[in-house]
């Protein structure tokens, strides 16, 4: 996703100031660019992208298969 579109989408989601946002297929995390990282659960199964996400300060980083039901995060 191009960064300007990611920013607009993130700004739209953040307009209600969510408590937490789940990005089920996070990739490199661009769709969360406008959301405070501490409020994001980033999920990715690719090991290289998962490592990069782990270094970006997200509230939680998981590696669940998003084609199946994602477990509750508590």
H or E element that contains 11: helix 3-14
Res 14: pLDDT: 63
Res 15: pLDDT: 57
Res 74: pLDDT: 60
Average pLDDT for 29-55: 92
Count Cβ atoms below 10 Å from residue 35 Cβ, excluding itself.
22
Res 55: pLDDT: 95
Residue 10 has pLDDT above 80, yes or no: no
Which pTM value belongs to this model? 0.82
């Amino acid at each position: 996703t191009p960064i300007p579109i990611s920013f607009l989408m993130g700004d739209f989601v953040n307009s209600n100031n969510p408590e937490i946002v789940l990005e089920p297929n996070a990739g490199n995390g661009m769709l969360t660019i406008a959301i405070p990282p501490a409020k994001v659960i980033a999920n990715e199964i690719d090991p290289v992208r998962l490592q990069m996400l782990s270094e970006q300060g997200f509230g939680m980083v998981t590696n669940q298969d998003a084609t199946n039901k994602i477990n509750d995060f508590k």
